[in-house]
Amino acid sequence: MSDIVINGRIKIKSFQADFIKNFPFLVPTLVDKKGTRLDNDYTIAHANTTVNGEYKPIKVDDFSINGNLFIGTLEDRFEETFGIPCEIVYRLNGRHYTTKGKYDKMSISEANANLEKVGAEKIKLEEIVSYA
**Residues 73-88: tens digit of each pLDDT:** 999 999 999 999 999 9
What ranges do the domains of the chain cover? Answer: 4-130
> pLDDT (tens digit, 9 = 90+) per residue, 39-95?
999 999 999 999 999 887 777 777 899 999 999 999 999 999 999 999 999 999 989
Question: Can you tell me the mean pLDDT for 8-31?
Answer: 94
Q: How far is CA 130 from the centre of its chain?
A: 14
> 78: closest CA among 115, 116, 104, 54?
104
pTM over 0.85: yes
Does 35 score more than 60 pLDDT? Answer: yes
User: Contact 33/89 with Cβ under 8 angstroms?
Assistant: no
> 121: closest CA among 97, 98, 93?
93
User: Contact 12/42 with Cβ under 8 angstroms?
Assistant: yes
